[in-house]
Structure 1
Amino acid sequence: MNKLIVFMVSLTLLLWGMFLWKMSNNVNAGKSPNTENVEQVTAAGFDMQGMLSLLEPQKKPAADLRDPFLTPKRFAPAPKPQPRVVKPKVDTVVQQTPQQPLITLDAILPGDNPVAIIKYHGETAVVSVGQKIWDVVITAIETNRVVIRYAGGTFEIK
């Protein structure tokens, strides 16, 4: 087993060595006009300023390249539509009579200060005269009916 591992490591080092040797022949192969600078930098030792002098500025990319940091158009949020303002004509405006709210009467408890139990959309409330609930004002509680004021109209609930 150890021989196999040694063989695999040796083979890997050999292949990577050949790859790096081939790649080193392609680096600066006639591209750098300052070949004497390369020799000066390597002969004098490692010098960062000398290494920087070998760099060539990167060419400006073409204008038709896309920006990788922009959101693609298919993922961009849709523009919000502008609301249309429709002005009603003066002739077509009709005054609507208010509709009775969907309030039901459960019970009336008579006495000196009578109270009524009413329901509206599943909610139950105990109310007395003058109380305001659900935009409804209780105006009178009698023995068999409740009078309410809603949206400018008066209604009775039995």
Structure 2
Amino acid sequence: MILSTPRAAKMQLRSQGPQISFAAPNRGSTVKYLFTLAGLLVSSAALARPVPVNPNVTTNDPLPVRVLDCGGSVIKQVSDRFGGPIGAPRSNGSSVGFTNGGYNVSYDTVDAIKNSRVGDHVMICLMHIPDPDKCPPGDTRGRIYTVTNLRTLESWTLPDSQHMCGGA
């Protein structure tokens, strides 16, 4: 059976199974149909709006210093806690380093870090700063960051050290 429109083909598919052939009764309607489709594609592309991007965030931002501030960076290292490949025999935990000096570490294997690659762009947001009255002077460990890998769109929330301030 020869069908002239996709709707007719769909109706035919429902009633008789997948024996379909698209052909127009004449060449003029095929050309008209193709031009209509092309026009729809062009008009939808013309109406698409760009995604707003914060121009203040770059890949060279320093680590955020205030809670809920964010900045961009690039992954420079992905490994287990001891520098080996994540998931290798005898590997332990996860760690990731950034070009701005930031670092995250976990005793667990974090899939979002395992799926990351050197060179991936990330957004780093500071989520927690330990109470300075409860930390020894100069011990700034224990800041917690949420990092989103902009290639995979996976995120993790981890501290910058294996131990909090005042710890081992």
TM-score between the two structures when normalised by the length of structure 1: 0.17
Question: Greater relative contact order (Cα 8 A, min sep 6): structure 1 or 2?
Answer: 2
Return the index of the structure with the highest Cα Rg.
Answer: 1
Structure 2 length normalisation: TM-score?
Answer: 0.16
